[in-house]
C-alpha cells in the first residue's frame, strides 16, 4: 500500500482553531458549567499557592505563629481573587471547550463571588411567606450582630435583611446553637460546609456569618438568583433541589422558606 503523506504548514492550526459547535446546553446548564470551571480554576490556583507556601515555609516562616490559619485564608482569598480577575483564563478556556461558546461578561457576573443585591420585594416568592414575628429577645441578639452582617452583605452582595432572616430562622441569634443534625452556630453550618467556606471556628459569630453568607451567595449563583431555590438548597441541600427539579416536597423545607421570607418582610419594614 502506498504511504500517504500530509503537508502541514502550521502544526498548531488544527489545535488553535476550535471546532465550531452549537451549544447543546440551556442557560441553567451553562451557568452550572461556568460555575464548575471557575471552581476548578480556583482550586488549581489554591493548590499552586499551597505548593509555593510549602516550599517557602509559609507566609510567616516555618516558626511563624498562626501560620496554618493565615496561609489557608491567604490561599483561599488569593485563589478567589485570581479567579475573578481572569488571571489564568482557565475557566474561560474550559467553558469554551465544553459549550463551544465564549464565556460572556454577564455569565462571569453570575458566577463570581459578588452577586447583585437580592431584590426580594420584587420576587414573586415573597408573597407566600407566612406571618411570623421574631421575639424581642432574639431581635436584641440580632442587633448585636449588625457589624458582622453588614460586612457579609458587602463582601458577597447579599441583602443584609435576608442574612438576618436566615440567622433568625436557623438559630434566633444564638451563636452556640447546635441542631440534632449537628449543624452549628448562627447560620447552622454543617462541619463539611464550614470547612469548604474556610471557617476556622464555627462558633465565632463573624466567621459563621461570613461563611454562611458565602454559602448562600453560592446557592444564589447556582440557581441564577432564584431566592426560593437558594433557600431550599440551603435547608435541604442542592442535591434535593436537583432531584425534584425545584423546591423539594418536604414540609420542613417549605416552612423554612416561608419563615425566612416572613422575617425578611419584617426586617425590610422595620428600622432595624
CA nearest to 183, candidates 203, 206, 153: 203
State yes or no: is 170 an active-site residue.
yes
Residue of 2, 170, 207, 251 with catalytic role = 170
How far is 65 from 200, CA to CA, in rounded Å?
Answer: 15
Q: Which residues contact 246 (CB under 8 A, 6 or more apart)?
A: 229, 232
Cβ atoms within 10 Å of 192's Cβ, excluding its own: 8
Nine cell digits for residue 110: 453570575
Length, in residues, of the chain = 272
DSSP secondary structure letters along 109-143: HHHSS--PPP-GGGSGGGGG-------HHHHHHHH
Catalytic machinery residues: 170
Amino acid at each position: 500500500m502506498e504511504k500517504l503523506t500530509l503537508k502541514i504548514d502550521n502544526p498548531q492550526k488544527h489545535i488553535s482553531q476550535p471546532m465550531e459547535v452549537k451549544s447543546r446546553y440551556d442557560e441553567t446548564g451553562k451557568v452550572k458549567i461556568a460555575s464548575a470551571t471557575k471552581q476548578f480554576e480556583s482550586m488549581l490556583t489554591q493548590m499552586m499557592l499551597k505548593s509555593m507556601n510549602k516550599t517557602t515555609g509559609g507566609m510567616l516562616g516555618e516558626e511563624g505563629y498562626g501560620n496554618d490559619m493565615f496561609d489557608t485564608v491567604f490561599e483561599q482569598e488569593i485563589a478567589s481573587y485570581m479567579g475573578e480577575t481572569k488571571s489564568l483564563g482557565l475557566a474561560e478556556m474550559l467553558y469554551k471547550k465544553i459549550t463551544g461558546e465564549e464565556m460572556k461578561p454577564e455569565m462571569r457576573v453570575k458566577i463570581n463571588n459578588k452577586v447583585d443585591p437580592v431584590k426580594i420585594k420584587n420576587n414573586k416568592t415573597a408573597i407566600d411567606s407566612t406571618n411570623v414575628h421574631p421575639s424581642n429577645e432574639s431581635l436584641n441578639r440580632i442587633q448585636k450582630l449588625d457589624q458582622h452582617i453588614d460586612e457579609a452583605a458587602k463582601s458577597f452582595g447579599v441583602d443584609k435583611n435576608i442574612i438576618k432572616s436566615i440567622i433568625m430562622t436557623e438559630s434566633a441569634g444564638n451563636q452556640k446553637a447546635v441542631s440534632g443534625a449537628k449543624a452549628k452556630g448562627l447560620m447552622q453550618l454543617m462541619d463539611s460546609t464550614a470547612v469548604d467556606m474556610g471557617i476556622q471556628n464555627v462558633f465565632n459569630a463573624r466567621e459563621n456569618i461570613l461563611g454562611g453568607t458565602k454559602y448562600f451567595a453560592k446557592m444564589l449563583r447556582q440557581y441564577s438568583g432564584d431566592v426560593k431555590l437558594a433557600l431550599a438548597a440551603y435547608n435541604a441541600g442542592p442535591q434535593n433541589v436537583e432531584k425534584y427539579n425545584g423546591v423539594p416536597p418536604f414540609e420542613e423545607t417549605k416552612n423554612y422558606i416561608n419563615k425566612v421570607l416572613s422575617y425578611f418582610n419584617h426586617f425590610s419594614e422595620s428600622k432595624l
